[in-house]
Amino acid sequence: MIIGLFHPHQFKGRFFYAMSIIDNFADQNLSFEQAKANWQKEMARALGAKTDAKTLGLLTRKTQDGLVIGPITNIRQNPQIEGTPGHFPFVRGPISKPHSHQKWDIRQPVTTGEPERANRHALQELAGGASSLHLNIDPTAKSGIAIQELADLEMVLRDVDLAIAGLGFEPSVHSADLGGVMIAHLEQQKLDISKANIHFGFSPIGQSTKHSLNNNQLQNTLEEATQFASWNIDNAPHFTSLTLSSDLIHEAGGSAALELAWICAETVEYLKVLLAAGLSVDQAAGQMIASIAMDANLHLGIAKLRAARRVWANLLQNCGASETASCLNIQTSTSNRMLTRREPWVNILRISTAAFGSVLGGAQIVSTTPFTKFCGMPNELARRLARNSQLVLQEECAAGQVIDPSGGSHFHERMTDQLAHAAWKLFQQIEQQGGLLAALENRWLQKIIMEQQKQRQQKVQTRKQAMIGVSDFANLDETIAPTTDHNWQPKINTDRLQFPVSLPIKERVALARTGSVFANVTSDSRTTPNPFAPQRDAEQFELLRDAADSQPRLPAVFLASMGAVADSAPRAGFTRNLMAAGGLQISDNVTWETESALLDAFAQSGSKLAILCGPDALYAQSAENWAVKLKAGGADQVWIAGGPDLPHNSKLDRRFAAGCNAIELLQAAHACLGIKHV
């Protein structure tokens, strides 16, 4: 059996012909090698390729990790499907049959700064269908809820029944203080903690990497996380303490394999500390939840979750864990790097796709972000749509009714296998450096992530990594998405007793009852940029749009069409789409009866930049002459779309084509038009 993986746009209208080739070969009694050779010959003819290698090159893509996504495979090339759902190594899912009621935990984020408003949002989330809450804490209210003391937390959780609703905290440098306040709250409410499901969200290595904490601060946080893990095991059977922060790698531009390698390496570091404190391997493993970011790459996302369970199970088995304890508990979140501030309505589709991949990949906990996250404070509509994206999957699509729906799929099985091997190889390289902490200390990992960032940025800048509504098909008339005004600022309590570091939990809880406030945490001064700082793909294009919008009127580029409209239409459309990504409008594609009509239209446009669009034959005949006349008519620069490379003495200033660096090109266009960037 042969399987073709095709993309219609790559066939230039010959997609159905290509599929008929596959059908014909499937009906013949041919070996795979014979069928593949015949298929390559037919596809070379369909695509106009001169060689078989060129044919495969046109139809083959690679992931950020260099994993090949080819156009044809057969079942013999597939890895053997490992295990069964709910059993080691858990590739096919963490459970053997769907839950009768709650297919997965819909854990929605609450990030509003003011505690009282955060409480209203929390209750709305739960009443609207969420099964648990994910609280992001920031005492300054800049990026989360301004919780500084027990009273603030009590306000946020007012009327929230923690015997029913689960609760998780975003990793924070304040996790220990927050944990003490949380336990104090549970004791005051006289809640049976055996019924509660709470994740404290300690991520000592993740937070140390993100905030550049010094070694003493890291060791203190590791000690505090260990205390809470031990307390959980002794007192709260459904509490967990540690977050494996692979989303840190994802948001910094890292690859899927590096995300999974980070999970394994971070696990090893935490196991060392927890085992030294007297926990068993099973107990330590049960305290960890992997935080994995999911983007709109549906199939790679599914494979990433399946591979994550496989490599983690393999690691835990080698560490002596039981098979049951070797199942990775996964919480997925919406990728921030894929979200856009411009044309944010498209984010709704991205978020829904990421949630779909999370469910099909077998995540136990799924969080979806409001689509206006980077536009301002999300309003009730944005939060409801984020929540409903999961409810539609659960209630209408019945996405949780089938265990491992991608199981047996040639693509998903093979990608899972390739990704698991790539991740394990990177993990071994980290261990060869002496472990994760050593790899960070000697900056080996920083070099890896910076190289991956460079590769990803190149794809973004050349628009090979498309962002609909931003880098492609930008809408210059977009409407502003609604957000909520929220200028509330917390009063920082500087005169109150702060929680000391490395304090036993019992004493921390006692201080919480007296009104102690969270300690100030300062990071090391940094002279170089943090390689692990989050990066959004759309940001460079959005800055160009901002600069263009700051002008008194929308900057315009003059489109000098050559020949008939039909002849110039392909390149004119490409140029209009590209210029719009930088906030530049472009004149209509029309046929000029005379050169004087062309020059008059250019003069009326008021633009200083003209772009020639037409067929190669007219380029060779008239492009240089048109450039001279347009410059005589007032153009500072004349560019040309496509065509052969420009000669050394060309009167044309720039040639651009598909695959060019769009950011550099648009910056040059802005400079020509006199657009200043702040």
Based on the fold, state whether residues 271 and 138 are members of the same structural domain: yes
Based on the fold, state whether residues 37 and 139 are members of the same structural domain: no
CA gap 629, 194 in Å, rounded? 82
Here the CATH number for the domain that contains residue 121 is 3.20.20.240
Residue 401: burial class (beta carbons within 10 Å; 0-12, 13-18, 19+): exposed
Based on the fold, state whether residues 52 and 157 are members of the same structural domain: no
Q: Kindly compute the dihedral angle of the four CA atoms of residues 607, 608, 611, 617, in this order, to the nearest 10 degrees.
A: 120
Confidence (pTM): 0.92
Q: Is the pLDDT of residue 10 over 60?
A: no
Cross-strand partners of 654? 639
Give just the sign of the alpha carbon dihedral 315, 316, 317, 318: positive
Could you tell me which residues come within 8 angstroms of residue 534 by beta carbon, excluding any fewer than 6 positions away?
A: 251, 252, 336, 337
Cross-strand partners of 294? 334
Q: Is residue 399 part of a domain?
A: yes
Here the CATH number for the domain that contains residue 575 is 3.40.50.280
Q: Is residue 486 part of a domain?
A: no
Q: How many domains, the chain? A: 3
Cβ neighbours, 10 Å, residue 405: 17
pLDDT digits (tens, 9 = 90+) for 89-148: 999 999 988 887 788 999 999 999 899 999 999 999 999 999 999 999 988 888 899 998
Minimal CA–CA distance to 349: which of 291, 405, 389, 381? Answer: 389
pLDDT digits (tens, 9 = 90+) for 264-308: 999 999 999 999 999 999 999 999 999 999 999 999 999 999 999
Three-state secondary structure call for residue 675: coil
Q: Is residue 498 part of a domain?
A: no
- Please give, one letter per residue, the 3-state secondary structure of 324-337: HHHCCCEEEEECCC
Q: Is residue 433 part of a domain?
A: yes
Q: Is residue 405 part of a domain?
A: yes
Could you tell me which residues come within 8 angstroms of residue 438 by beta carbon, excluding any fewer than 6 positions away?
A: none
Q: Which of 24, 41, 59 is the last residue of a domain?
A: 59
Q: Is the pLDDT of residue 617 over 90?
A: yes
Q: Is residue 48 part of a domain?
A: yes
Three-state secondary structure call for residue 289: strand
Q: Is residue 275 part of a domain?
A: yes
- Token pair recorded at residue 290: 């992997």
- 499: DSSP letter: P
- Token pair recorded at residue 328: 């990775």
pLDDT digits (tens, 9 = 90+) for 60-96: 888 999 888 877 666 666 666 678 899 999 999 999 8
Cross-strand partners of 332? 292, 366
pLDDT digits (tens, 9 = 90+) for 23-60: 455 556 677 777 777 877 777 777 776 666 666 677 78
Based on the fold, state whether residues 51 and 123 are members of the same structural domain: no
Q: Is residue 677 part of a domain?
A: no
Strands 365-366 and 105-110: parallel
Q: Is the pLDDT of residue 578 over 80?
A: yes
Domain range enclosing 320 = 105-461
